[in-house]
Structure 1
Amino acid sequence: MKLLLISNSTNAGEPYLQYPMPRIGEFLHGVREAVFVPYAAVTFSYAEYEKKVAARFAELGIRLRSVHRASDPQRMIREAEALCVGGGNTFALTRKMQEQKLLGTILRKLKAGTPYVGWSAGSNVCCPTICTTNDMPIVEPESFKAIGAVKFQINPHYLDANPEGHAGETREQRILEYIEANPRRWVVGLREGCMLRCEAGRLELIGPRPMRIFKKGIAPYEVHAGDDLSFLL
């Protein structure tokens, strides 16, 4: 499969999608048109989301078409030259994709080699489930099952800090709860400004910060750009 899974769309103080754009352009080299899934949008419309992302993709010479405009969303996915799934609320995204039966359609496209770019919630839905999202379950999907394009779970926007005055669980503690309940699953804490590229059977960490690895029975540890990540595949 050919996947670019990005932790976050925007670094603090930067314009929208600025830091990943060079990598997206490189990844989608030769692509003329991409199909966009905007269903993670909640407080703004799908049309607004489409317009925002389309403006950035136009800089790469790529036309963007949103699946929310299609009378047959599955067909639009099947005919896509590339797929792009944006961030927002993972539960809203998953429910809508399940309602339109897009998960299996997308997985078949990815297995056929269609490139996929996702950020935040769009990265979460490439995992077996959405159980390691940071989002509040504002709506109820049919299940937590996601596309399953990768075998591991991603926690995007991974944070190490425990803010002063906060007495609740840290992000690491929440992930440790997950692997206790799901001992066969690897989880990666993907920090902001970083992304994972999967292509030709190789998984690569891209970005200036290390990625944290979690697995039941193994002490959490860090991997860096250039390290061997084949164990996750």
Structure 2
Amino acid sequence: MSKLLLFSASGYKESAYLSHTREFIDDFLKENFMIDEEILFIPYAGVRRTYDAYEAKVKEGLKKDNIKSLHCFENLKEAILNAKVFLVGGGNSFMLLHKLYENDLLEVLKERIKKGACYIGWSAGSNIAGLSIKTTNDMPIVMPKSFDSLGIFPYQINPHFISGKFPGHNGESREERLEEFLLTNPKDIVYAIPEGSALKVQDDSLKIIGYHDVLKLSYPFSIEYLKVNQITKI
């Protein structure tokens, strides 16, 4: 049983921090009868701010007081076992996964979600919901135990997807980078999420929400555009 809401980013265009996610998050929690539950925030992707500051920023951005960061608990595993809603923030995917492995939390988090807990993530928090972080855009600032991540979404995820090349940029485009991944991992599928959009999963059903189509990339290199509000089977 998977109940997932996976955003590309914490912002969209000129919107305030997390403001474009609020209505989607509230609807998701209401649908799963979790609107009044305490939300456990996992801040480990944050590198350039303290965990206290990150928690405060997320509370302000979502206008919710029922959010408590994992770093505030003495027993981390117990906190995860007792949580019914997880909120996993963005930052650096390598650091996030490294901290989950370092604290021996990856498997207990995975099992808790499989047993019905809701999972909400953005950016790095969305990245680790997939099979691995091999399609992240982040620099490997730390080496996690493995690139394997939660796998609660059974495919690869690429948040912050931007198509094409910017003027003056002579490196590979995002499509070219993802093609490289698929040439090396031909059995995998990648869901590329543009800013302002998200994947919403209820058990084996996937719905595209937000403002832009999501791209589904596979080998030999092909792109399928999943429309906003389109529902497919996983």
Q: TM-score range by the shorter chain?
A: over 0.9
Q: Which amino acid aligns with 1:88?
A: G
Distance 1:199 1:219 in 2: 26
* Aligned position for 1:20: 21
Asked if the contact 2:16/2:61 (under 8 Å) is kept, the reply is no
Distance 1:163 1:100 in 2: 40
Distance 2:60 2:131 in 1: 31
Q: Which amino acid aligns with 1:12?
A: K
> TM-score, normalised to structure 1's length?
0.94
Moved more, 219-228 or 172-181: 219-228
Matched residue SS, 1:56: helix
* Aligned position for 1:116: 119
Q: Which amino acid aligns with 2:54?
A: Y
Matched residue SS, 1:164: coil
Asked if the contact 1:31/1:82 (under 8 Å) is kept, the reply is no
Q: State the shift of 1:55 in Å.
A: 2.4
> TM-score, normalised to structure 2's length?
0.94
Relative to structure 1, the CA distance from residue 206 to residue 167 in structure 2 (aligned partners, 3 Å threshold; closer, same or farther) is same
Q: State the shift of 1:229 in Å.
A: 2.7
Asked if the contact 2:194/2:212 (under 8 Å) is kept, the reply is yes
* Aligned position for 1:72: 75
Distance 2:7 2:122 in 1: 4
* Aligned position for 2:7: 6
Asked if the contact 1:86/1:118 (under 8 Å) is kept, the reply is yes
* Partner deviation per Cα, 1:133-187 (whole Å, 9 max, x = no partner): 1000111111101011011111001001301111110000000010111111110
1:35 aligned onto 2:36:
no
* Aligned position for 1:51: 56
Moved over 4 A (4+): none
Asked if the contact 2:179/2:221 (under 8 Å) is kept, the reply is no
From 79, 82, 85, the equivalent of 1:82 is 85
Task: Provide the aligned length of Structure 1 versus Structure 2.
Answer: 229
Distance 2:26 2:229 in 1: 21
* Partner deviation per Cα, 1:56-92 (whole Å, 9 max, x = no partner): 34x35x5111111222111100000211100001111
* Aligned position for 1:107: 110
Which structure 2 segments of 5+ residues have no match? none
From 201, 204, 210, the equivalent of 1:201 is 204
Q: Which amino acid aligns with 2:44?
A: Y
Which structure 1 segments of 5+ residues have no match? none
Q: Which amino acid aligns with 2:151?
A: G
Identity of aligned residues (%): 36
Distance 2:106 2:133 in 1: 12
Q: State the shift of 1:222 in Å.
A: 1.4
Distance 1:81 1:221 in 2: 34
Asked if the contact 1:129/1:148 (under 8 Å) is kept, the reply is yes
Moved more, 109-118 or 26-35: 26-35
* Aligned position for 1:215: 218
